[in-house]
Amino acid sequence: MNTLLLPCAGKSNRFPNMKPKWMLTHPDGKLMIEKALEGIDLKVFDRIIITIVRPHDEKYEAKLILEQVFAHNPKIEICMLDDFTASASETVAMTLEKMNVSGSFVIKDSDNMVAAPIPSKIRNAIVGYDLQEHKDISNIPGKSFLIVNEQNIISDIIEKRIVSNIICLGVYMFENAEDFKKAYRELKNKEISGEMYISHVISYMLSKNDAVFEAVMANGYNDYGTLQEWKEVQKKFRTYFIDVDGVIMKNSGKYGKTNWSNNTTFLEDNVAVIKKLQDEGAQIVITTSRTEEYRPALEALLSSVGIKPYAILMGLNHAARVVINDFAPTNPYPSGIAITLPRNGSIKDYLF
C-alpha cells in the first residue's frame, strides 16, 4: 500500500497574521494545499493523508474546508492532532502511528508544487532540483542540499548549508514506514538540539547504513515557502486592465482618416510587455471605448500579435477608469494599482 502524507501541523510563523499558509488562496483560486498536490501522480497512492492541528480547526474551520475542497477525492483522509508539533518529522511520526500507516509512503511539503515522477513501487528516494539547470530559485541558503554520487545515490542531505548544486524539494520516499519510525525514535532519544527535520532522520539512516536513498530529479517546481516567495507568485498573477487606443495601439478615434475601422498600428514595445506579463501568468483584461460592433476586428488584431485577453470590455465611457479592491494580509496593500501613461507612451517606463 502506497500512502502520501502532507504534514500541516506547523504554526506558519513565516506568514504572520494570516491563516495557516496551506489554507491561503493562490491567485488561480485554488488553496495552497491543492497546488501542493499538482505535479504528483495521485493514482500511485492508495491513501492521501493531510495532517492538521485542532487549534487551526477551531479557529479556521480547517477540517471542514479540506472536506469541501477534496469532496471529489475519496482517497483524502484528515489526521487531526491535538496541538502543534515541534517539527515536520514529529508530525510524520505521529501521523504514521495514529493513522496506522504501513508499507511504503511519501512525504510531501504543503508549501510548494513539485512535478516529479513517483513510481508505483516506491523506493527510498529524495526529489531534487539541479541549480545549474534551473537558475530562477530564490532563498537558496534556506534550502537543504543533496550530496549525490555518480551512480545517483545520496550520501548525505544537509540543512541550510550550500554543499552541492542539488537542492531538496521536500518530497521524500520511503520503502517502509517502520524504517522511518525506528530512525525517528532513535534520533529523538539522542535529544539533538533544535528542530528535527525530515532530512535529519534520513541523514541518520544513511550514517548507520540502514538504507540507500536515490536522487530523483524534478522537472518542475514552484516554491511558496516564504512570505516573499508567496508575494512574488501573487505579483506574477496580477490582473491588468489595459486600454487599447494610446496603450496597445497608436491612438485613434471613431472618426478621421485613421480610425477604429482601419487603424492597425501597434505600439510594439507595449505589446512585448503585455505578452511577457501574460506568459508569466497575468490576466489581461482589455478595456476600450470602442463599441461592440468593433469587437470581431479588435479580437482579430489582438490575436495577430499574440495577445490573449481574459476578457474584453467594450463600450466603456471615455473617462477615467477607477479600480476599487480590498486589501488584507493575504492580499496586501496596495491591492489596487493605477498607472496613467502619456498617450502612446511606454508601459515599461512605469511598470518596471
pLDDT tens figures, 328-341? 888 888 899 999 99
CA 262 to the chain's CA centroid: 44
Which of 203, 226, 249 is a domain's end point?
226
Q: What span, in angstroms and rounded, lies between the C-alpha atoms of 58 and 49?
A: 19
pLDDT level of residue 343 (50, 70, 90 thresholds) = very high
Q: Please check whether residues 44 and 18 belong to one and the same domain.
A: yes
Domain boundary among 178, 195, 226: 226
d(CA 156, CA 146): 6
Burial class (CB in 10 A: 0-12, 13-18, 19+), 74: exposed
Contact 221, 113 (CB under 8 A): yes
Q: Which residues pair with 350 in a beta bridge?
A: none
In this predicted model, which residue has the larger pLDDT, 190 or 34?
Answer: 34
Distance CA 243, CA 285 (A): 9
Q: Which residue has the higher pLDDT, 12 or 88?
A: 88
Q: For residue 192, what pLDDT is reported?
A: 72
Tell me the three cell numbers of residue 32.
Answer: 495552497
Q: How many domains does the chain have?
A: 2
User: Is there a single domain that holds both residue 206 and residue 292?
Assistant: no
Q: What integer pLDDT is reported at residue 193 of this predicted model?
A: 73
β 104-108/166-174 pair status: antiparallel
Q: At 57, phi and psi to the nearest 5?
A: -70, -45
Structural domain includes residue 232 = no
pTM of the model: 0.88
Shared domain check, 78 and 211:
yes
* Whether 204 and 164 share a structural domain: yes
Name the average pLDDT for the chain: 94
Give the whole-number percent of the chain exceeding pLDDT 70.
100
Q: Is 213 exposed, middle or buried (0-12, 13-18, 19+ CB in 10 A)?
A: buried
Q: How confident is the model over 90-137, as pLDDT tens digits?
A: 999 999 999 999 999 999 999 999 999 999 999 999 999 999 998 888
Q: Which residues contact 304 (CB under 8 A, 6 or more apart)?
A: none
Show the CA angle centred on residue 3, arms to residues 53 and 66, nearest 5°.
40
What is the domain-level CATH number for residue 320? 3.40.50
Across 7-33, average pLDDT: 91
pLDDT (tens digit, 9 = 90+) per residue, 216-236?
999 999 999 889 999 999 999
| Full residue range of the structural domain in which residue 330 is found | 238-351
Cell readout for 278 is 501574460
Cell numbers linked to 264: 492597425
Nearest to 316 by CA among 344, 294, 334, 333: 294
Confidence of residue 14 (pLDDT cuts 50, 70, 90): confident
The whole-number pLDDT of residue 111 equals: 94
